[in-house]
């Protein structure tokens, strides 16, 4: 074999090996980003808030808020986005409930519903965006504490859900 031919074959082999290694590295990178780090899914940071607007007659008007920030790289579609608001009245004993894992029980359901209006199919929250969703509720004046519980389901095939809570003392 002539030296020139040998160098050409060696260069061709090195090129093939480099191509194979590049494909392997690219495949590993894609697997790492989209499977291991789950970048193909939204990553949502959440919080819940209760703002007391004021007293009107025998009720307080309160704004219930769920705040979602999409920290991921893909859009998040919110199809089911519910809440319930429960209260502890001044006359109630402070008890706990097994259904809440032994936490304090707020026995009076004041409001329940969805942050998603009935005429909407879903909310969409793009990457890097924050959505603020609210519901205005009335609370009997005899309530001394409120507990807001919010939840939503991810609309992908993982079947995951997420919840957040907020508890406040009323004036």
Bridge-partner residues for 153, per DSSP?
161
Would you give the DSSP letter of residue 105?
P
Question: In the chain, helix, strand, coil percent, each to 5?
Answer: 20, 50, 30
Closest C-alpha among 120, 155, 117, 118 to residue 134:
117
Q: CA dist 117 to 4, 49, 134, Å?
A: 75, 19, 11
Spans of all domains in the chain: 1-37, 44-169
Query: Within 13 Å, how many C-alpha atoms sit on residue 143's CB side?
Result: 28
Closest C-alpha among 49, 81, 69, 58 to residue 125:
69
What residue ranges of the chain have pLDDT lower than 50? 36-37
pLDDT recorded at residue 30? 54
pLDDT recorded at residue 148? 98
pLDDT recorded at residue 122? 87
State in words which class domain 44-169 has. Answer: mainly beta
Q: What tokens appear for 80 in the block? A: 């089911």
pLDDT recorded at residue 53? 97
């Amino acid at each position: 074999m002539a030296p020139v031919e040998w160098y050409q074959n060696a260069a061709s082999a090195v090129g093939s090996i480099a191509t194979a290694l590049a494909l392997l590295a690219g495949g590993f990178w894609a697997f790492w980003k989209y499977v291991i780090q789950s970048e193909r899914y939204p990553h949502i940071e959440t919080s819940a808030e209760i703002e007391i607007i004021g007293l009107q007659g025998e009720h307080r008007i309160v704004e219930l808020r769920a705040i979602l920030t999409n920290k991921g790289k893909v859009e998040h579609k919110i199809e089911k986005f519910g809440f319930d608001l429960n209260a502890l009245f001044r006359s109630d004993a402070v008890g706990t409930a097994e259904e809440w894992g032994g936490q304090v029980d707020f026995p009076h359901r004041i409001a329940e519903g969805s942050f998603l209006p009935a005429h909407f199919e879903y909310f969409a929250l793009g990457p890097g965006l924050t959505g603020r969703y609210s519901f205005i509720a009335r609370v009997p004046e005899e309530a001394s504490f409120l507990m807001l519980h919010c939840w939503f389901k991810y609309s992908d095939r993982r079947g995951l859900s997420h919840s957040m809570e907020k508890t406040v003392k009323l004036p």
